[in-house]
Structure 1
Amino acid sequence: MQGALRRHVTKMERKELDTVIAARKQADLDAQNAYNAELEALLEKGKAARIPRIAFI
């Protein structure tokens, strides 16, 4: 009976660990997507700002 109980506990611990790992991966993915979106916005802003601020005569 001890063996069955230990296997059940181990299975539950692994399931919990898998959940934690999946949440961390999703958080990393969300952070990467936010970074990429911010980078794209900065690049677009830089492209739009290529017009000289001072008029050359």
Structure 2
Amino acid sequence: AKAYGVSVDELPAYYAKRTLLNEVIEPDDIAKACFAFVGGLLNKSTGNVLNVDGGVATAFVR
């Protein structure tokens, strides 16, 4: 938090602003993505990386 000039309490909002969706990524979001793979919802998918980041990589090029 100190490196970014925000308080610890402000970190979630700070990170959310750096995503395209402007939302905090919660552990439940990661769990849902994992379940999609192991639960057979994506059983025809091979060799992929599933990013659950709210669009962080794209947001940095803004």
TM-score, length of structure 1 as denominator length: 0.30
Query: Higher helix fraction: Structure 1 or Structure 2?
Result: 1
Q: Which structure has more RCO (C-alpha within 8 Å, separation ≥ 6)? A: 2
TM-score, length of structure 2 as denominator length: 0.28
